[in-house]
Structure formats: structure tokens, C-alpha cells
Chains A and B, each alone.
Chain A
Amino acid sequence: MLLHMLKYDFKIMMKNKSLLFWLIAFPIILGSFFHLAFSSIFDTEFQADAIPVIIIDDEGAEQLSDIMGQVESDGETLFKTEMLSYDKAMKKISDNDAEAALDPKSLKLYMSPDGSSISQTIVKQFIDSYRINTSIITEAYQKDPSKASEVTERLMSDISLIKRGELTEGSLNIFDQYYYNLVAMVAFYGSLVGLSTACRNQANLSASAARKASSPLRKSTAAASGLLSAFFAESICVVSSISYIIFVLGENLGKELPLVYLGGIAGGMTGVSIGYFIGSVGSLPENKKSSIITAFTMTCCFLSGLMDASMKLKIEENVPILNHINPIALISDMFYCLNIYSDHKQYLINLVSVLAVSAVFCALTFIFTRRKKYASL
């Protein structure tokens, strides 16, 4: 019976156009959009002239100026820096004599109202990258003090945005974070697969589930078949998305591809089990549960930096607990750790955590749905 159920559950999922859109088409569209957007930012014609940036004369100004002076694009210096007092900097900005001014202490960015949007985007991306790289050093100290000096050395050896220099054994480019989050989002969209599976098993969510519940099919068999086929379908979607990013868009998600795929699949399992749990408890109809899951996923994506790569860092600075409970941040962090650290310790910790979350939600669902009768249908 399990094989019979598995065959059809998988078939139903792979023919669900709405699910396929969110799990395959949407990430491909978004990934392609990222690819086009990021590759056009650094158009070589545009970079003929260095971008004028003022650094406010304060603590750390010289150091920042030195670093910005070393950033190159195709052998040309990317930024032309000048140190001025705050008042003079603001005047130059308002007179449109400089694209942006930077406060070296707070890393606050002041933009010229009539400046070039592409120039200002580059300055902003540089600052975001600078913040993250600075944070990597701090994080490295906290996680493994013995490796921190090595990371610092590599980080400071080349901070070029354009060359996407390999700061560690992997890539520390700020744009990679967008792709990590994209894969994490696809993985967490597994919750929609989980919800769809729950709807086929919970008599209060669909007529076909009520028919199944009236049959001699055991709840455990239905749940096992539903979850296994959902895991399998979700894995196909995650693998497709990762493969598209790596092999079609040519983006770099790290050298250890099997572990990247494994991380994505584990994230997908977490998404499926959370979605299955949400679908199996409570009496809200499927469309409302689906809206809740979509809104939750997009919020988690936003907080983990899908729309703004610096968001994760801002959260780390202000509400660090959010990064530790945000499932998408946890999943994307797996890829991040895989790229940053030369050993797999942190990656494995994250992998086990994500799988444990999945196991907990699966177990909770089995407990909640066992011998279940509904108060209303």
C-alpha cells in the first residue's frame, strides 16, 4: 500500500502547477534577475572614471580611505576618496560634487540627491561588503579563535568587489549571499509542499482527504507516504535550482558541490516538515494556511537578506536571536559556513540542527494526527 500511495502522491505533487511555479519557475526567474542585475552593475564602460567618495574626517577615516583606494576594477582604481570635515562633506554632497560621503565610525552613508544611481549602488555594495567582512573577523574570533588570524589575513589581502577575490578558500562576495538566500528560500518553500501534503491527508482540509480518512488506510502510512514523496519532490526542486544557479548562471556557490546539494536538500526537508505540521494542526482552510506560510517565508527571506544583503548583519547587530531562529537564515548560513570555514564543523552543526528541526516537526505531526477525529469538517 505504501508504494501505491508513494507513486500517486509523488505524481500529484509533480503535476501541481502552482507548486512547481513557486519551487522551480520562481527561483529561476529571481536567480536570473539577480544575475542580470549584478552583472550589469559593474559595466566596464561605466567604470572608466573613479567614483568620487568623501570620507568624513573621524576615527578610522585613514584606514577606510586606504582600503577603498585599493579597490580595483580591471586594473583601474574604483573609488577616488577625499577626507573632509562633516560640514564640508555635507556641502559637497548637497552641491552634487561627490556621489557619497561615508562616516568611517558608524559606516553611515550619505548620498548625493542628484548622483548616479549605479555609482551610489556600488558605494553601498562596497560598504555592505566591508561591514560583512569586518563581521566575519569578529565572528571567526568567537567561533574559532585559532583560525581567526588566518581569515583576517585573507580578508585584508584583497577586498575587490569586481574580481570577487577569494578571500578564504571559498568566496566572500556579498552577491553570493543573495544566491544562498535564494536556495534557502527554495528549500523553505518546501513548506508549501508540506502543506499540500497535509491537505491530502487531513479530512478537515479537503474532500479527498475525508475520503481517505474513511478508508482503512492507516494515518501513519498516509503520513509516511506523503512526507517521503514531499521530501523527494522538494529535493528535485532544490537540486534543480542549485544546478541552475551553478551551471546555467555560472555563479559560485562553493567548491564542495555535494555538500551544497546536501544542505539544500536538508533545508527542503525542514521546509516540508514545518509546512506539514502547519497544515495538520488548527482548523484554518488551506488558502489561509498557504497565505500564512508564504508571508512567513517572505518575511524570513527579507530578514535573512534576500532583498538587502546587509539586513542579516543589521539583525545580528540589533536582534541577534532572530538570526538563530529564522529557518532561512539557518539554511543560508549553512552555505555561508561551507564557504568561509576550511573545516566542516560549523556546517555540520547547522546541518544537524536543520535535520533535528525537521524530525521534531514530523514527530509532532504524527502525535497530533494519530487517531484524530475532527470537531467540524
Chain B
Amino acid sequence: MSQTIVKIDGLVKRYKELTAVDDLSLEIQEGEILGLLGPNGSGKTTTINCLLSLLSYDEGNIEVFGSKMTPDNYKAKAKIGVISQNVAVFDELNVYENIDYFCGLYIKDKKLRRQYTDEAIEFAGLNDFKKFKPKKLSGGLLRRLNIACGIAHKPSLIILDEPTVAVDPQSRNRILEGIEKLNRDGASIIYTSHYMEEVEQLCSRIIIMDKGKNIASGTKEELKKKVNITETIKAEVRNADEETLSKIKQLPHITSSEYDGKLLTVKCSGGKHNLIRLIEVLNEHELHLGRVYTELPTLNDVFLEITGKQLRDKED
């Protein structure tokens, strides 16, 4: 039976008039990857900082590894690894020294620390950059160094706060693969992001946050069941007229349709053969089709359904 390693109960954190975290409760079981998904400003990082006892909070209770989390709960802190949103390394130290420095905050034995540092360098693929100063590293390598510094001491609970912000796709994939490996090796993980694809790929359980509240939680399958949409059909069509669009809207199980002059987007709720029926209508009106594809509901659809707004900012 899995053990509860983090328990947050009724957490409230206010910044003057703004309630950053509003009565949030959650639990993390041993071995799981919990995703905290929400737009910027939804309270994910504040929750993490309260959990780490860096931030004071107004109400609630936080327990980690069965004991109340306080600034001097060193026993619990020794089992946690933190990878923050901002790269937390020293510009004056090289890659090896940075990892060794942070590993040394947890591991006293010199020999063991050296071994762990080497393993972290190997894990992050930084073997060729050991002597490099952080300023000489690319954005992706810098993020990998940030991760290596947080996991070198082999923590049981790893907290990753938006670790892939401003990272190229290649490095992002490498980071995500690394996180999956850490989990396979036995670490429990809290992963915060506003990238739904990452959360969908990684997390065994997801909490969607907005305005400091837990607005939905469950596995990705459970969450998707909460939306009315079963599939979204997208078709490249030119010159569709009002009559055609009107006919499409009248088809069964169609909940909405949008057309921007090039791409027709149709959302369906249940039913079968929706795609076939749509193509029939388009053929009847002698419209030439380009690419046609269907998408299953995403976490963005879940967020949209609950809050009425997009999960991700347009600039993201």
C-alpha cells in the first residue's frame, strides 16, 4: 500500500488583497507523479514555496513524510529535491562545482558526494561541459544543470517547478525522459507546468488550478470525462458558404463549429460517424477538402469547460 508523503490541508496564502492560494488541499502518494497544471498566476509556485516552508501562509496545514513542515524540519528537507522555475546556480562556479556544492548540502561523505555528482552529470548529459561556467551554457543545458543540482543527492520527493520554461524541444524531451527515469527509480514527483502536453505525458494524477483553487483533479482520463466534447474535427476547406456552415451546425452531436476562411473546426459531443457525415455535407456542396483530422479532448478543453478561458496564454 502506497504511503502519503505530502498532505496539504486547507492551505490559504494571501498577498494583501490577493488570495494566491485559496483553501487548497491535496495529497501525494509515494511513487506517483502529480501534475499541478494551471495558467501563470494560478498559485502553483506559491503552493510549492509554502510546501517547502519558504513562504509563510495564512491558514492550513502541511505535512511532509508524516511530519509538519517547518523551516527546521531538516529530516524532511533532506529527502526533498527542488528544481525551481528560475535557474538556481552560481555563475562563479563551473558545472561540476555547482552540482558538488548543492549535493554537499545533503551528503556529508566526500566519496559518496563525488559519486553522486558524477552520476548527476551523467544523468543530465553534461559530461562534456563539466568545466563550463553557467554563462557559457545554452538555455537547455542551463536547465539541465539546474535539474542536476536538484536531484544529485537522490531525493525521495522531487519538486519540479516549470522546469522546461524557455527550453528548445530537444532539451525539453530530454528533460521529460529524465523525469520519467527518476520516477522509475523510485522518486515521487510534483511537477508544475502550464504546458498541458507535458503534464499529460508525465503525470499519473493531475490537479488543475486556477486563481489559487483546485478546480479539478484526477487522472487525465477522469478529467477528460468531465468535458462534454468527445472529439474535435478539423478540416481544411476553401470557400465554404453560410448555407454549408448552417447545415453542418444542424448535424447531430455537433456542439459548435468555427470557420476562419481556411480551417473548419467542429466540436462533437458523443455519437458515431461524425466525420463521415461532415464530409458528406462538404461533398454535397462540392467543396474541395485539404487535410482532415480529428483530435481527442485535451486538458485545455477541460480547463475551457470549467473556467471559460484558455489554459495557456496566447504568447506561450
Indicate whether B223 reaches chain A with its CB closer than 8 angstroms: no
Q: How far is the CB of B151 from chain A (nearest CB, A)?
A: 12
- Using A8-B97, A11-B93 as known contacts, say yes or no to A374 and B54 having CB atoms under 8 A apart: yes
A11 touches B97 (CB 8 A): yes
- Using A208-B89, A372-B71 as known contacts, say yes or no to A214 and B52 having CB atoms under 8 A apart: yes
A377 touches B106 (CB 8 A): no
Indicate whether A281 reaches chain B with its CB closer than 8 angstroms: no
A377 touches B49 (CB 8 A): yes
Indicate whether A248 reaches chain B with its CB closer than 8 angstroms: no
Indicate whether B105 reaches chain A with its CB closer than 8 angstroms: yes
Q: List, in ascending order, chain B residues with CB within 8 A of A376's CB.
A: 15, 55
Complex interface residues of chain B between 68 and 125 (CB less than 8 A to chain A): 70-72, 74-75, 77-78, 80, 82, 84, 86-90, 92-93, 97, 101-102, 104-106, 108
- Closest residue on chain B to residue A1 by CB atoms: B108
Q: List, in ascending order, chain B residues with CB within 8 A of A200's CB.
A: 90
Q: List, in ascending order, chain B residues with CB within 8 A of A210's CB.
A: 49, 54, 82, 84, 88
B71 touches A215 (CB 8 A): no
Indicate whether B53 reaches chain A with its CB closer than 8 angstroms: yes
A144 to B1, CA, bound (A): 82
- Closest residue on chain B to residue A208 by CB atoms: B88
Which of A219, A372, A377: most chain B CB closer than 10 A? A377
Q: List, in ascending order, chain A residues with CB within 8 A of B70's CB.
A: 371
Q: Interface SS of chain A: helix, strand, loop or mixed?
A: loop
A377 touches B54 (CB 8 A): yes
B150 touches A211 (CB 8 A): yes
- Using A213-B54, A216-B77, A373-B55 as known contacts, say yes or no to A207 and B105 having CB atoms under 8 A apart: no
B74 touches A218 (CB 8 A): yes
Q: How far is the CB of B223 from chain A (nearest CB, A)?
A: 30
A208 to B52, CA, bound (A): 14
Count B interface residues, CB 8 Å.
33
Q: Which of A208, A216, A377 contacts B74 (CB 8 A)?
A: A216
Interface string of A267-297 (1 = CB under 8 A from B): 0000000000000000000000000000000
Q: Which of A8, A371, A373 contacts B54 (CB 8 A)?
A: A373
A217 to B49, CA, bound (A): 17
In the complex, number of A-B residue pairs with CB atoms less than 8 Å apart? 86
Indicate whether A212 reaches chain B with its CB closer than 8 angstroms: yes
Count A interface residues, CB 8 Å.
30
Q: List, in ascending order, chain A residues with CB within 8 A of B49's CB.
A: 210, 377
A371 to B55, CA, bound (A): 11
A218 to B105, CA, bound (A): 10
A334 to B53, CA, bound (A): 45
- Closest residue on chain B to residue A209 by CB atoms: B88
A206 to B149, CA, bound (A): 15
Indicate whether B56 reaches chain A with its CB closer than 8 angstroms: yes
Q: How far is the CB of B189 from chain A (nearest CB, A)?
A: 15
- Closest residue on chain A to residue B70 by CB atoms: A371
Q: Which of A5, A212, A219, A375 contacts B56 (CB 8 A)?
A: A375
Indicate whether A12 reaches chain B with its CB closer than 8 angstroms: yes
Indicate whether A203 reaches chain B with its CB closer than 8 angstroms: yes
Complex interface residues of chain A between 350 and 376 (CB less than 8 A to chain B): 371-376
Q: Which of A211, A218, A373 contacts B88 (CB 8 A)?
A: A211
Q: Which of B71, B82, B89, B93 contacts A371 (CB 8 A)?
A: B71
B105 touches A217 (CB 8 A): yes
Q: List, in ascending order, chain A residues with CB within 8 A of B90's CB.
A: 8, 12, 200, 208
Q: List, in ascending order, chain A residues with CB within 8 A of B74's CB.
A: 216, 218
B87 touches A4 (CB 8 A): no
B93 touches A211 (CB 8 A): no
Q: List, in ascending order, chain B residues with CB within 8 A of A206's CB.
A: 88
Q: How far is the CB of A160 from chain B (nearest CB, A)?
A: 50
Q: List, in ascending order, chain B residues with CB within 8 A of A11's CB.
A: 92-93, 97
Q: How far is the CB of B184 from chain A (nearest CB, A)?
A: 24
Q: Which of A16, A218, A219, A377 contacts B55 (CB 8 A)?
A: A377
- Using A8-B97, A371-B71 as known contacts, say yes or no to A207 and B54 having CB atoms under 8 A apart: no
Interface residues of A (CB under 8 A from B): 1, 4-5, 8, 11-12, 15-16, 200, 203, 206-208, 210-219, 371-377
10 contacts between A and B (CB under 8 A): A8-B90, A8-B104, A203-B54, A207-B84, A208-B89, A212-B102, A215-B77, A216-B78, A216-B105, A371-B72
Interface residues of B (CB under 8 A from A): 15, 49, 52-56, 70-72, 74-75, 77-78, 80, 82, 84, 86-90, 92-93, 97, 101-102, 104-106, 108, 149-150
